[in-house]
Structure 1
Amino acid sequence: MSLLLGAHCIDTGGIPMAARRAGKAGMQSLQIFSAIPKFYNDKVGVKPDRLARYQEALAEAGIRPEHVIVHAAYVINCATPDEEKWNRAAAALAKEFERSTALGVAGVCFHPGAATDGDREAAIARVSEAMRRALKAVPASHTRLLIENTAGAGTTVGRTPEEVGAMLAGIPAADRARTGYGLDTCHLFASGYPIATSRADLTRVLDEFEAATGEPPAFFHLNDSEGALGSNRDRHALIGEGLIGADAFSWLLHDRRAKGVPLILETPQEHADIAEDDDTPDPWDVRSVALLRALAKEPPRG
């Protein structure tokens, strides 16, 4: 099964332009925002004309809808003990799920949030409840609701296999297949998982997440790390230019769990400002995809 390499492409000009930039870079997968990520967007829908333009651009790019991931808004904190904030976060997650379903994507990934009162067990239960509400709000969706592991800063939950597994364990059996999780390499490294030490260590970490959840990841975010191992710093670097290094990505690309799922770059862009009608892919994205393809063709390093 082939590797589905892609990136969270700049969406200046709208998500159709993000798709066109991905297509021009020869990507097989894509990550987008369904709405402005700095806001809850709990009342924002997907207009038919926007959906049609996106679908047309995706077809032109040669990217299948089921190889697209939506990243939820950063402000959503489904772990908070604050009832008012939790209700708004849960509503925002449900609306995010609704928009993602309308777009026909593989899944919507979200950061679980923080247990600001220090009660991690209760926070995990609140994340599960927010997921249940979203699943109930959009009952016919083939899009999955996907937890993203965290870098472990402060009181954030979702750092360990056990925490991710506990969130998913709170989903009713009838809906469990509509949920899952994904792994961010920078977050793993920042959380203290030694994925850059050896291929065996990387494999062990992936095994632990698979054992705790009962399934492999539904996507990977491929990010090198500016922060050191265990630093809890969520600072992404270009592949091979951070403290994880290229070897770890070589090991990951040769792991069975990297096959057939979106492998998304969230690395820095050379050109953060681009014209709305410019569908040129970012040069650093193009370079990173080429490097990953080369690593995938070579025998694993180390």
Structure 2
Amino acid sequence: MLLLGAHCIDTGGIPMAARRAGNAGMRALQIFSAIPKYYNDKVGVKPDRVARFHDALAEAGIEARHVIVHAAYVLNCATPDEEKWSRAAAGLAKEFERSTALGVGGVCFHPGAATTGDRTEACERVAEAMRRALAVVPESHTRLLIENTAGAGTTVGRTPDEVALMLNGIPQDQRHRTGYGLDTCHLFASGFPIAESRAALTQVLDDFERATGEPPAFLHLNDSEGALGSNKDRHALIGQGLIGGAAFGWLLQDRRAQGIPLIRLGSWRVQVPVASRAASIGLPGTTPTW
């Protein structure tokens, strides 16, 4: 089953985001749990807010396990700067705590940048931040999920090996609480030729699954304004970027797209090339803009 959704604005509160998603016929949803430009390491979630959110999800026909929270953009869990790392680690733990309180399927985060440090050590610092978050947040079905990066500058998490290095730093008895997701724009910008052919796309997914030992927990479906290997994190509407519509048709027919949140960032408009290729597998031809 394809769980198509989008990142919905939460003007009026996160229950309103769920209602917008339901009104648009979505089966998955992504939200922020706090203002994404700040660390929010002191921000909690009130029980009545959780209850209203779950009521709205039920009305929308969206299961809480199919909701992803996107962590704050400012977190850099890869930095060698101890003060900045400590604040980022605390922010990540709080994101995980809020997401667990909301009862969602996972919280995804950008690993960050090594800046002047070694990339391997940077990945190890990300793993340490994840371990700290896991240690302070009670066991639940909410997972802590790494999002692959576009590879700009010294950002880590671009390759299967880097994502695997972070996940391998998690104790085995906590590993089920973690995972990763893939953004198609980030893959393309990082130099993975997902638009070349179905076989090329499949190979990329295989490489990530082989390195990490598991398939992605979510997908961000974004075309790319930047060229292949440009390292530019510039999203475009599906079918209007340099990835093109065909690759999304191939992706949605891959087994790994089944049963996980498929999230479009920004306005969701499925273009004709994608609709014509994917109509047989349930991708709607048009959907309102949020």
The answer to whether TM tops 0.5 is yes
The one-letter code matched in structure 1 to 2:201 is: L
Verify: 1:95 aligned to 2:94, yes or no.
yes
Contact 1:193–1:205 (CA under 8 A) maintained in structure 2: yes
State the alpha-carbon separation in 1 of the partners of residues 211 and 275 from structure 2.
Answer: 30
The alignment partner of 1:174 has SS state of: helix
Q: Identify the match of residue 296 of structure 1 among 254, 264, 278.
A: 278
State the alpha-carbon separation in 1 of the partners of residues 271 and 190 from structure 2.
Answer: 25
Q: CA deviation at 1:289?
A: 8.9
Q: CA deviation at 1:52?
A: 1.6
**Counterparts of residues 111-190 of structure 1 (less than 5 Å):** 111-190=110-189
Verify: 1:207 aligned to 2:189, yes or no.
no
State the alpha-carbon separation in 1 of the partners of residues 196 and 159 from structure 2.
Answer: 18
Q: CA deviation at 1:55?
A: 1.1
User: Which consecutive segments of 4 or more residues in structure 1 shift more than 4 A?
Assistant: 289-294
Q: CA deviation at 1:293?
A: 6.2
Which whole-Å deviations, capped at 9, do the CAs of 1:127-153 have from their partners, x for residues lacking one? Answer: 000000000011322200000000000
Q: CA deviation at 1:292?
A: 5.7
The one-letter code matched in structure 2 to 1:297 is: A
Q: Which residue of 2 aligns with 1:225?
A: 224
Contact 1:253–1:295 (CA under 8 A) maintained in structure 2: no
The one-letter code matched in structure 1 to 2:135 is: K
The alignment partner of 1:248 has SS state of: helix
The one-letter code matched in structure 2 to 1:173 is: Q
Which whole-Å deviations, capped at 9, do the CAs of 1:31-64 have from their partners, x for residues lacking one? Answer: 0000000000001000122112111111111100
Verify: 1:15 aligned to 2:14, yes or no.
yes
**Counterparts of residues 188-267 of structure 1 (less than 5 Å):** 188-267=187-266
- Specify whether residues 179 and 291 from structure 1 end up closer, same or farther in structure 2 by C-alpha distance, changes over 3 A only: farther
Q: TM-score, normalised on structure 2?
A: 0.94
The one-letter code matched in structure 1 to 2:185 is: C
Verify: 1:54 aligned to 2:53, yes or no.
yes
State the alpha-carbon separation in 2 of the partners of residues 290 and 12 from structure 1.
Answer: 30
The one-letter code matched in structure 2 to 1:88 is: R
Structure 1 unaligned blocks of 5 or more: 270-284
Q: Which residue of 2 aligns with 1:66?
A: 65
The one-letter code matched in structure 2 to 1:20 is: R
The alignment partner of 1:7 has SS state of: strand
Q: What percent identity do the matched residue pairs reach?
A: 77
After superposing the two structures, state which structure 1 stretch, 150-159 or 134-143, moved more. Answer: 134-143
Q: CA deviation at 1:298?
A: 3.6
Q: CA deviation at 1:255?
A: 0.3
Q: CA deviation at 1:241?
A: 0.6
The one-letter code matched in structure 1 to 2:158 is: R
CA-based RMSD of the aligned residues comes to 1.4
After superposing the two structures, state which structure 1 stretch, 289-298 or 244-253, moved more. Answer: 289-298
Contact 1:16–1:57 (CA under 8 A) maintained in structure 2: yes
Contact 1:108–1:143 (CA under 8 A) maintained in structure 2: yes
State the alpha-carbon separation in 1 of the partners of residues 273 and 22 from structure 2.
Answer: 17
The one-letter code matched in structure 1 to 2:140 is: S
State the alpha-carbon separation in 2 of the partners of residues 19 and 288 from structure 1.
Answer: 20
State the alpha-carbon separation in 2 of the partners of residues 187 and 127 from structure 1.
Answer: 19
The alignment partner of 1:147 has SS state of: strand
The alignment partner of 2:34 has SS state of: coil
Contact 2:239–2:274 (CA under 8 A) maintained in structure 1: no
Q: TM-score, normalised on structure 1?
A: 0.90
**Counterparts of residues 260-299 of structure 1 (less than 5 Å):** 260-267=259-266, 269=267, 285=268, 287-288=269-270, 295-298=277-280
Which whole-Å deviations, capped at 9, do the CAs of 1:142-177 have from their partners, x for residues lacking one? Answer: 200000000000000000000000000000000001
The alignment partner of 2:251 has SS state of: helix
Q: CA deviation at 1:297?
A: 3.2
State the alpha-carbon separation in 2 of the partners of residues 220 and 293 from structure 1.
Answer: 18
The alignment partner of 1:241 has SS state of: coil
